[in-house]
Amino acid sequence: MKIKTITAAALAALLLSGCLPKSEEPEEAKDKAKEEQETRVIIPTHQLEEEYYRMLLPYKKSASYGLVVSMLNSQYNIAEVEGGLMRLSQQHFPTDEYYYQEGQHLDQETILSWLGGKDKENNPEGLNPAGQDAPRYIAHILEQNYLKRTSEDKIRLEGVSVGVALNTVNTITGDKLPAAQVEENGKKAAAAIVKRMRGMEGLKEVPIVVGLFRQSPKTEIVPGNYFAVGVAEKGKDVLSGWDPINEEYVLFPTSSSKDRYRDVDTSFRNFKQDVEKYFSSFVNVIGTGYYKDGEIYSLDIDVPIEFYGNAEIIGFSQYLTGLLVDHFPDIQIEVSITSTKGPEALIVKKRGEAEPYTHIYHN
């Protein structure tokens, strides 16, 4: 069992150092902007892990920066619409070849216009149905850019991903929207978005990947999920078709009777019971499972506590580490132990590794 204690300041320094090369200076290249102007950027030579894109520095914020917070209904959906699209993009823009940048083409004014109701006179580009009482199917549009370094040491846009977030509940009446109508409106909006983006400067030839995201209701504490993806190849203004995406998030313990959740739910309930044997002063212990193609891929567990002593936190973390190995031997796990003071400990067990790794925070 490996346990390491670190201070918050030390952790921040560690994370910052991970973004920079360990043994050599960062490489510099030129970034060709939309206005055909060239600016210098820093390209980190060190990649944290295969699942993460390298980010160009200085970091450029999205042209619609901050809009997603007001358009989506929960922090869970906000995080997943971005993280899920980045994960989806890896199938088309590999992390070892491409660099990530927030979307630079769709600004707030454009997105808000597209999200409005279609009105021939006042808003002809609206993607939602007209009328104050009409359901609002399209909740948000998110753009991500993927760039490559050319042989001339310049950075060039080589791919764009677009997430189309869809409401599953009528925002006016609170009624559930029919799934078929949600999907149909999402695909129609995606087709229109691709055609419009092809007319924008710098986007005529790059491939455009579009993902349809089903937003979970604001009362749920798990995010929605991407359920379909389409691609407009270089120079094409239409999507070549749609492929289904089979992924979902499940809250544990669950009341669902579906067989694919049963084994994990049983293990989680046993884990929760063992945790409560050690210390009963818990607000609640909950887990969020990420399923891909019907199989559990990862499990995040939140453990709120009322501990005050550092030694007690270390002892409790050691106890939890043993429970994870016993109850979840083959699942990727991340356990966050928190108190009213903030984060107390983080336990991570990657898939295929025998022992978890633990960080103890010194607040």
pLDDT of residue 257: 63
In whole angstroms, give the CA distance from residue 97 to residue 91. 12
Give the CA dihedral 122, 127, 131, 136, nearest 10 degrees.
-140
Confirm if 32 and 38 have CB atoms less than 8 A apart.
yes
pLDDT in tens, 176-188: 999 999 999 999 9
In whole angstroms, give the CA distance from residue 137 to residue 129. 8
Mean pLDDT value across residues 28-56: 64
Q: Are both 197 and 314 inside the same structural domain?
A: no
Confidence bin at 351 (pLDDT 50/70/90): confident
Q: Are both 211 and 269 inside the same structural domain?
A: no
pLDDT in tens, 103-126: 999 999 999 999 999 999 899 999
Question: Looking at the domain assignment, is residue 307 inside a domain?
Answer: yes
DSSP of 80-139, one letter per residue?
A: HHHHHHHHHHTTTS-TTT-EEEE-SS--HHHHHHHHSBPBTTTBTT--BPSSTTS---EE
In whole angstroms, give the CA distance from residue 30 to residue 309. 51
In whole angstroms, give the CA distance from residue 231 to residue 241. 7
108-117: long-range pairs with CB below 8 Å, 24+: 108/63, 108/64, 108/67, 110/64, 111/64, 111/67, 111/140, 111/141, 112/67, 114/138, 114/141, 114/189, 114/193, 114/196, 115/71, 115/139, 115/140, 115/141
- Out of 21-25, 153-157, 334-338, least confident range: 21-25
In whole angstroms, give the CA distance from residue 228 to residue 166. 12
Q: Are both 94 and 214 inside the same structural domain?
A: yes
Confidence bin at 44 (pLDDT 50/70/90): confident
pLDDT in tens, 185-228: 999 999 999 999 999 999 999 999 999 999 999 999 999 999 99
Q: Are both 233 and 273 inside the same structural domain?
A: no
Q: Are both 81 and 208 inside the same structural domain?
A: yes
Question: Looking at the domain assignment, is residue 8 inside a domain?
Answer: no
Please give the share of the chain, as a percent, with pLDDT higher than 90: 68
Question: Looking at the domain assignment, is residue 5 inside a domain?
Answer: no
pLDDT in tens, 13-36: 333 334 434 444 455 555 544 434
Q: Are both 107 and 237 inside the same structural domain?
A: yes
Q: Are both 263 and 235 inside the same structural domain?
A: no
pLDDT in tens, 122-135: 999 999 999 888 99
In whole angstroms, give the CA distance from residue 348 to residue 358. 6
Q: Are both 93 and 182 inside the same structural domain?
A: yes
Residue at 148: amino acid letter: K
Question: Looking at the domain assignment, is residue 35 inside a domain?
Answer: no
Q: Are both 188 and 324 inside the same structural domain?
A: no
Q: What is the pTM of this model?
A: 0.85
Nearest residue to 144 via CA among 211, 243, 226, 244: 211
Question: Looking at the domain assignment, is residue 23 inside a domain?
Answer: no
pLDDT of residue 35: 39
CA distances to 74, 87, 111, 260, 272 from 84, in Å = 15, 5, 20, 22, 28
Q: Are both 148 and 162 inside the same structural domain?
A: yes
pLDDT of residue 3: 46
3-class SS of residue 66: coil
pLDDT of residue 132: 84
pLDDT of residue 230: 99
Q: Are both 79 and 225 inside the same structural domain?
A: yes
The DSSP secondary-structure symbol of 149 reads E
**pLDDT > 80? residue 43:** no
Please give the share of the chain, as a percent, with pLDDT higher than 70: 85
215, 245, 275 - which closes a domain: 245
- Cα distance from N-terminal residue to C-terminal residue, the chain: 23
212, 245, 278 - which closes a domain: 245
In whole angstroms, give the CA distance from residue 342 to residue 298. 24
Helix or strand holding residue 197 (H, E): helix 179-198
Mean pLDDT value across residues 288-297: 95
pLDDT of residue 110: 98
Confidence bin at 352 (pLDDT 50/70/90): confident
**Helix 108-115 crosses helix 179-198 at what angle (to 10 degrees)?**
140
The structural domain count of the chain equals: 2
Range of the domain at 259: 250-362
Mean pLDDT value across residues 242-271: 92
Q: How far is CA 130 from the centre of its chain?
A: 31
**pLDDT > 60? residue 243:** yes
Question: Looking at the domain assignment, is residue 38 inside a domain?
Answer: no
Tell me the CATH number at 292: 3.30.300.190
Question: Looking at the domain assignment, is residue 286 inside a domain?
Answer: yes
Question: Looking at the domain assignment, is residue 129 inside a domain?
Answer: yes
245, 267, 294 - which closes a domain: 245
Mean pLDDT value across residues 335-342: 91
pLDDT of residue 37: 33
pLDDT of residue 181: 98
> For residue 301, which phi and psi values (nearest 5 degrees)?
-120, 130
Locate tokens 């295929």: which residue?
A: 352
pLDDT of residue 7: 42
Q: Are both 311 and 232 inside the same structural domain?
A: no
Tell me the CATH number at 221: 3.10.570.10
pLDDT in tens, 76-99: 999 999 999 999 999 999 999 999
